């Protein structure tokens, strides 16, 4: 691609998802040098699209992984620069946390992102007003960072899951990547289709909205 050329992500035609059970699987805190590529290999083989909320501070070290996330059709979003509690920052710090990561993602991938996952799910009116992006939290959290046990993470997710859920995992941990493989395999057999957060929102609500906070996106017709 040419330097400075903006990549226009081809929006999936969401019509094909009508009447389907949809799930968005999301990965925070990466990229990780080993586990993220391992996960990407699996997702490619499984033909599953996921969403990666990356940290600006780590992007500096792993720009090629960010490029690969985009090239393989996944959604990339911001998890801020330094992973701070956004509601505890000065306006100046908040602006840095938000804008520096967006700038970095754009400079590396040429993608203008359209999703923020605030660290700890922590946000307030200032975060909403300054981010100019949809805020994407989650509806299923197996606390994979705490348990580091693939079986336990797998069961915590699949026993609670329902249509329209957004699953939170972290591609920093080998056990989480292992759990993600089990979750994807199982839920595909249960008839779920995995989509990016952007596709999930558009399939269910027509379009994404800056300042909106998303956690679970059920089917309007159900
Ligand atoms: Ni995080």
How many angstroms is it from 143 CA to the middle of ligand 1?
11
Residue whose token pair is 């990547």: 177
Q: What is the mean pLDDT of residues 44-50?
A: 97
pLDDT in tens, 6-42: 555 567 778 889 889 999 999 999 999 999 999 999 9
CA dihedral 126, 131, 132, 135 (to 10 degrees): -90
Residues 118 and 53 sit within 8 Å (Cβ to Cβ): no
The chain-wide mean pLDDT, for the chain, equals 93
**Global pTM value:** 0.94
Known catalytic residues are 28, 170
For 76, the enclosing helix (H) or strand (E) is strand 75-78
How many angstroms is it from 117 CA to the middle of ligand 1?
8
How many angstroms is it from 15 CA to the middle of ligand 1?
32
């Amino acid at each position: 691609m040419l330097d400075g050329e903006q990549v226009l992500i081809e929006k999936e035609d969401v019509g094909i998802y009508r009447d389907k059970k949809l799930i968005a699987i999301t990965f925070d805190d990466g990229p990780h040098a080993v586990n993220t590529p391992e996960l990407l290999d699996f997702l490619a083989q499984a033909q599953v699209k996921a969403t990666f909320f990356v940290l600006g501070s780590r992007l500096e070290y792993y720009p090629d992984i960010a490029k690969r996330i985009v090239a393989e059709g996944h959604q990339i979003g911001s998890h801020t620069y330094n992973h701070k509690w956004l509601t505890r920052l000065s306006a100046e710090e908040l602006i840095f946390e938000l804008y520096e990561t967006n700038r970095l993602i754009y400079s590396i991938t040429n993608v203008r992102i359209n999703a923020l996952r605030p660290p700890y799910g922590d946000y307030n009116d200032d975060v909403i007003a300054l981010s100019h992006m949809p805020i994407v939290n989650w509806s299923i959290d197996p606390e994979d960072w705490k348990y580091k046990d693939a079986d336990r993470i797998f069961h915590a997710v699949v026993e609670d899951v329902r249509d329209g859920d957004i699953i939170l995992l972290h591609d920093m941990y080998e056990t989480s990547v292992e759990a993600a493989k089990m979750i994807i395999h199982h839920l595909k057999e249960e008839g779920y289709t995995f989509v990016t957060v952007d596709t999930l929102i558009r399939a269910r609500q027509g379009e994404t909205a800056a300042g909106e906070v998303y956690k679970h996106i059920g089917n309007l017709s159900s």
